[in-house]
Structure 1
Amino acid sequence: MRKTEQKPDYYTQREWNRIQARETEERQKNLKLALIATFLLVLTACAIWAVYFYVFRSHDVSLLEAYSDSSTVFGLPGAGDRMSADPFSKGLCVTDSDVNPDAVFITSTEGALFDVTGQKVIYAKDIFEQRPQASLTKLMTALVAFKYGNLDDVVTVTETANDIEEGSSVCGLHVGDQLTLKQLVYGMLIASGNDAAMMVAEHVGGSVDKFVQMMNDESVKLGATHTHFVNPYGMTQDNHYTCAYDVYLTFNALMQYDLFLDIIGRKTYYAEYKDGTGDAYGNTWTTTDHYLDGSAETPDNVTVYGGKTGTTDAAGACLSILSKDAYGNPYISVILNSQDKEQLYVDMTQILSLAGK
C-alpha cells in the first residue's frame, strides 16, 4: 500500500487534495496502459505460435498408410464421429503391375478384367502403357456431359459437327438439326458418332477446346494420370492417349449413371427430332458392339451388358464392356490395340472366361 504523503506547509488543504487526485488518476491510467500492453504481447505471441503450427508444423502431420482408411489425418473430418480421410483408392480395383498375365493368352497389347464388387484386379496385362484410344475417348465425353450438362437442353447442330476426320463414324447429323443433349449422347455412344460428340462438346463446354479442357480436368479428378485428351471423339493426334487402367477408372465412374447403363445395353436407338426446316425427322442408330449385334459369340460364363468400342489405325481395335456373372456381380473389362475386330472379341472372351473364378 502506498504511504500517504504529508502535505507541505506551502499548499493549502484544497490545493493538496487536487494534487493527490491528479496523481491517483495518473497511476490508474498507467496501470491500464500496462495491462493493455501485456494483453497485446500475449495476443501477438499466440498469433506467432498459430502461424508456426498451422503453416509449418502441421505439414509434418501425414498419413502413415496412404491407402488405409483407419489412419487419422489432422483436420480432415471423416464418417461418423471419427476424424479420418477416405483413401483415394476407396471402392476401386488397384494394382501397380501385371496380374495373372499367364492365366489366358491374348494377342492384344493391353487387357484387363476388374471385379467391381470385390474391388479386385482379376487380370492385367500392361495396363499402364500409354497409347492411342480411338473412340473410347467418348467415355470421358459422356462423363463430362452427364456431370456438367443439362440432358434436356435442345441443341442446334452447327458446322462444328462436320469438323471431324474424313471417313469417321457419324450419326448423320445436318446443320440446323435440333436434338436434345440426351439424344446426342445416345448417338455418340451407340453409333459412335463423331459428329454427335463434337456437338456435345460445343454445347456443354461453350467451345470444343474448353470442353476438352474439362475432359482433362475430370481425368485428374479420377486419378487417370496416364490419359490426356486433345479432341472429344478420338481422332489420332499427338498428346491424345490413355491406358487400360484409366479407361477402367472412367467406365467405373460412368456406372453411377442409370442413363449410361441404359445406353450401352441398347442394340439400336430411334431418335426423333426436327431438321433444319423444322420438320420432324427420325434416325435409327445401331450399336458398334459385336457382342450385342450378334456378330461375335458371347462368353458362356457371363452376360454381356454392353460397352464402348473404338478403332483407328493407330489405336487398333479397342473395347471396354460391362458384364455380369451368374450371381449378378459386375465386371469391367478393357482391351486396347487388338490387331483387328475379330481378334478383339476372341481376346475379350478369353479375358471374360476368368470372371467368377
Structure 2
Amino acid sequence: MAWWHSGWIRGLMCVAAALIAAAGWPLPAQAQAANFHLCNAQPALPICQHGYGRRIAVQRWGATPEALDPDAVAKASLVTQDPAREIEKLKATSAFVQDMDTSEVLFARDETAVRPIASLVKLMTALVVVDADLPMDEQIVIAAGDVDVPSELPSRLSAGARLSRTDLLHLALASSENSAAHALGRTYPGGMTAFVEAMNARAGALGMEDSRFVEPIGLSNENVSSARDLAKLVHAASLRPLIGAFTTDARYDVDGRTFHNTNMLVGRPDWDILASKTGTTREAGDCLVMMVRLDGRNLAMVVLNAQGMSGARFGDAVRLRRVLDSRMAAK
C-alpha cells in the first residue's frame, strides 16, 4: 500500500515511544549502526549540505566530506582580471577589510550587522588573559566542567589533564579547543563572572560598540559583534606577540597529541598573517578574522557567516585578496 513506507513507520515509532515514556515505562534499546547519523540516512537535508552541520556529520559520524571551495585550495591564484566577479562570488553575509594604520576602509559589506561570532570570541579571551599578566607557567588541571561544555564536537582534552596556562592559551587560539578556553576563564582571578566582566570592559575600551560577551568559548549565540568591531579586536590581538605567535602556529604538540591550526591559510608562503582566528556554529556560520600584511599595509580582514562549500570563509579571504591586489596594482 502507498502509505506503507519508511517515513510513516518512523513517525509511528516516535509516537509509540512518546506514549511509552509518558506512561513511565522503560524504552526498549534501539539497535543502530555505529556510523549512524541523520545525514547518512538523509543526505539531501539542508543541514547536511554544508557548513557546521556537515562537519558534525563528517567528524562524529563519518559522513562523506563536502567538496572544498576551489578558491581555498593552496594552488588557487591570488590574481584576477575581474574584481567585480570576485565580489559576486563572496559567500559571506558580512565582510570587511580595513587598513588599521590609516583607518581606510578597503572593502565593506554589511559591516555593522550584529551577529553571533562563535569562536572568534577566543580572541577576546586571549586578550584578557595576556593583559592580566597572569603567571603563564602556572599548571592548571582540566576540570570536568571544562570538558562538559555543550558542544557537539567532543573535547580532545581529558578531565584531570594538567597543562600550563601557556599551553591552554595556545590550544584555545590555534586549534580552538573549547575546554582550554573554559579553563582560562574559570581560573581567572574572581572566576568566570569576573572574566566575562573583563571581556566586556576590554570591548568598551576598544570602542567595540556592537559587541557583547557572555562566556569565553563562543558557543552561546549571545556572544555578538559586527565585522567592523572585530577588525578592532583582531588588530588589538595582533599587537600582543604571544597571541600573534599562537594564532599563526600551524601545529602544536602538547599532552602527547598534535593539534592543528583551524585556519588553513596559516603557513602558506604567499600569506603574511600576523594574527587570526576562526569560528563556526550553526547560527554564526563560518567566520574568519585575520590581520594580514599586504603590499606594506597592515590590514584587518573579517568574514562572517560564509555559506557554501567547505572552506568558503578561506575562499572568501582569497577572493577579497584578489580584489585588493587588483586595486593596489591599479594605483
Residue 212 of structure 1 deviates from its aligned partner by: 1.3
Alpha-carbon distance in 2 for matches of 1:234, 1:180:
22
Matching residue of 1:243: 226
TM-score, normalization by structure 1: 0.62
C-alpha contact 1:169 1:193 (8 A) present in aligned 2 = no
- Structure 2 CA distance, aligned partners of 1:154 and 1:323? 33
User: Matches of 1:213 and 1:119 in 2, distance apart?
Assistant: 28
Deviation at 1:205, TM superposition (A): 4.1
Mapping for residues 175-186 of structure 1, pairs under 5 Å: 175-186=159-170
CA deviations on 1:231-264 (whole Å, 9 max, x unpaired) are 1111133x32111111111111112211111112
The structure 2 residue matched to 1:130, chosen from 109, 114, 129, is: 114
* Residues 101, 125 of structure 1: 8 Å contact kept: no
- 1:162 paired to 2:147: yes
Preserved CA contact (<8 Å) 2:238 2:274: no
Question: In 1, are the aligned partners of 2:214 and 2:220 still within 8 Å (CA)?
Answer: no
1:211/1:183 CA distance change after superposition, 3 Å: same
TM-score norm. by structure 2 comes to: 0.67
| Contact residue 151 and residue 219 of structure 2 kept, 8 A | no
Q: Which has the higher contact order (CA 8 A, sep 6+)?
A: 2
Q: Give the superposition deviation at 1:323.
A: 1.7
Q: 1:162: Cα distance to partner? A: 1.9
Q: Give the deviation of 1:206 after TM superposition.
A: 3.5
Report the AA paired with residue 250 of structure 2. Answer: K
1:103 deviation in Å? 8.4
Matched, 1:140 2:114: no
Q: Residue type matched to 1:336 in 2?
A: L
Residue aligning to 1:91:
none
Distance, in Å, in 1 between the alignment partners of 2:304 and 2:230 is 10
CA 1:118/1:109 → structure 2, altered by over 3 Å: closer, same or farther? same
| Match runs of 1:200-219 below 5 Å | 200-219=184-203
Structure 1 position 127, deviation (Å):
1.0
- Structure 1 residue 338 displacement after superposition: 0.8
Q: Pairwise mapping of residues 63-78 of structure 1 onto structure 2 (< 5 A)?
A: none
Among 238, 246, 271, the residue aligned to 1:255:
238
- Counterpart of 2:113, as a letter, is E
Summarize the Cα distance change of 1:224–1:339 in structure 2 as closer, same or farther, 3 Å threshold: same
Distance 2:127 2:118 in 1: 16
- Hey, what's the Cα distance between the residues in 2 that align with 1:286 and 1:103? 29
The match for 2:71 is none
Q: Do the aligned residues in 2 keep the contact of 1:144 with 1:218 (CA within 8 Å)?
A: yes
CA shift, 1:342, in A, is: 2.7
Any gaps of 5 or more consecutive residues in structure 2? 1-82
* Structure 2 letter corresponding to 1:339: Q
Per-residue CA deviation, residues 182-225 of structure 1 (Å, 9 max, x unaligned), is 11000001110000000000112432232112111111111111
2:96 maps to 112
Aligned to 1:322: 291
User: Deviation string for 1:273-307 (max 9, x for gaps)?
Assistant: xxxxxxxx42321111121377xxx8x6x534551
Residue type at the aligned position of 2:151: E
Query: Structure 1 residues 101, 225: closer, same or farther in 2, change over 3 A?
Result: farther
Q: 1:101 to 1:163 in 2, by over 3 A?
A: farther
1:330 CA displacement: 2.0
Query: SS of the counterpart of 1:322?
Result: strand
Report the residue type matching 1:160 in the other structure: G
Percent of pairs with identical residues: 26
Q: How many residues align?
A: 241
